[in-house]
Amino acid sequence: MELKSNKKTFSYSDWLTKLKSMVDAKQINLLTMADLKDCDKISKNIPNVVIRHDLDMQTGNIFKVNYDIDTARKLLNILYAEKALGLVSTTYIQRYFVIPDNDFSNQFVFALKNFESDGFEIGYHINDMCEAELQLKGNPINDIIMCGEILYHDHITELQKVFNIRTASAHGYGKRYVEPNNLTIEHQLKHDDEVSGFKNIVISLINKGISVAYHTDSFMFTDYNTTFDPITMLDNLKANVCGTVCIFLFHPQLYDITS
């Protein structure tokens, strides 16, 4: 499982093997995002790591393109690799991957539910404000926000019938996303809500004096961080202050699955 860019090649399989050895040696406490809602699960003696996967999909596509099915298959391969090593992770899915009633989506949901029963977390990747903007393009901003909030409520209710969703994260971070956007919804999800927003969980930890670091493979394709090296980052965790939380975000669609 490799990610190749014009800057470097990164092997996710090698990274998992390194992480597994550190977990077994009790050098790392592996958690899910939902675990971070309970400070009792956060180790004060060793660094804490969360593996996060974002399953992205273009708004409006409902399994009509091979690209999306390929992305879902890549995610399953990654999750199977993690499970084989006794590791767990958090995956944020957009509703389009699981709602259509077809053979592949039904098999995909079945597989994700099995992972969930094994301790993996399935969260919601919010894309409702983008969908509202498409539906109400040219309408007043307040109307778009209201539509996005209604869509979120309907969609999260729908998905909670399938998965035990405890955290949610917006699709699309960064300054290029102007208000209103999916973060507009995520910001409303407090850290102690039934479904908590990713950023509010992080802010809650920081307010409690817990240091949080966030790394993403998206940096492999940017000019502002060419030193992204997850394996070295794991080594560096040994020197970090005990009790820190480090979240690693990986996007399945970027990886070439060879095993």
- Tell how strand 48-55 and strand 245-250 pair up: parallel
Phi-psi sector, 178: left (phi>0), alpha (psi -120 to 50), beta: beta
Among the listed ranges 80-94, 107-121, 163-177, 223-237, which one has the minimum average pLDDT value? 223-237
> For residue 100, is pLDDT > 50?
yes
Least confident span in 66-70, 152-156, 171-175:
171-175
| Model confidence band, residue 204 (pLDDT cutoffs 50, 70, 90) | very high
Using the predicted structure, report yes or no on whether residue 2 has a pLDDT greater than 80.
no
Tokens matching residue 236 = 């560096």
Question: Any bridge partners for residue 48, and if so which?
Answer: 29, 245
Q: 89, 63, 54: which is closest to 172 by C-alpha?
A: 54
pLDDT of residue 218: 65
Q: What is the pLDDT of residues 4-55, one digit of tens each?
A: 544 567 788 889 999 999 999 999 999 999 999 999 999 999 999 999 999 8
HEC string of 11-70? EHHHHHHHHHHHHHCCCCEEECCHHHHCHHHCCCCCCEEEEEEEECCCCCCCCCCHHHHH
Q: How far apart are the first and last CA of the chain?
A: 7
Nearest of 160, 56, 68 to residue 105 by alpha carbon = 68
Q: What is the pLDDT of residues 161-190, one digit of tens each?
A: 999 999 999 987 654 455 678 888 999 999
Tokens (6 digits) for 225:
């961080």
